[in-house]
Structures are given as C-alpha cells and as structure tokens.
Amino acid sequence: MAKREISASQAFPLRDKKGTKIEGVYLGMQEIKSNFEKPHILHKIQTAEGEAVVFGFTSLNLKLAHVKIGEYVCIEYLGLPDETKKAGQNNAHKVKVEVDDDKKPTEIPY
C-alpha cells in the first residue's frame, strides 16, 4: 500500500465562492499541522475528475463527521448568513452535505 501525504497547498477553499458544489466518494479527512492552536482539517473526495482536497471549516467538519468513508457525498457551499452578529462574533459559514443512499458505498483499499 502506497500512502501519500496531502499538503495544505493542494487543497482548495470551498468557502471562497457561494454555490460551489463538489460530489463524489468521501475518502476521509487528514489533519495538517498549522501555526495556530488547532490543526487544519482537509477532506478528500474522489470526483469524476480525480481526487479533490477541500479545506475544512467548522460546519463542514461537523457534518462530514457523520459521513462514512466510501459513501457518495454531495457538498454545496451556501455562503454566510445574511444576518450580522454582534461585534466580535464571526458568522458561521453555511454548507449543505448530502449522502446519496442510492449509490452503494465504495470499498476503499486502505
């Protein structure tokens, strides 16, 4: 079995553009050390075009925690909510995560 590490520079930030969609087989997540207190989380998805690596953010990470490796997933970035928070609070990025139960989970060979 050949393993290869994914670097943060290979990931794209899903939250840069509202309406961005990605779908394919969920391959799992990887933590990358960062200069901050918490590590970066990268999610890997096998799409029709190849392997995509997406930067995680809180709402995406929480939802993908319920997706099993090998399940077919569709992720859509919905943007920031319209309402504004109080000073010092950040708006939470919104994302829709769907699992296609009609597609059988794919067995990942690692």
pLDDT tens string 80-103: 877 666 655 667 888 899 999 888
Q: Using CA atoms of 76, 77, 83, 85 in order, give the dihedral in degrees to the nearest 10.
A: 130
Q: What fold, for 13-99?
A: OB fold (Dihydrolipoamide Acetyltransferase, E2P) (2.40.50)
Distance, CA of 3 to CA of 103 (rounded, Å): 26
The Cα angle at residue 73 between residues 57 and 102, in degrees rounded to 5: 160
Distance, CA of 99 to CA of 26 (rounded, Å): 10
Q: Where are the domains of the chain?
A: 13-99
pTM of the model: 0.77
What was the pLDDT predicted at 67?
94
pLDDT tens string 51-66: 889 989 889 999 999 9
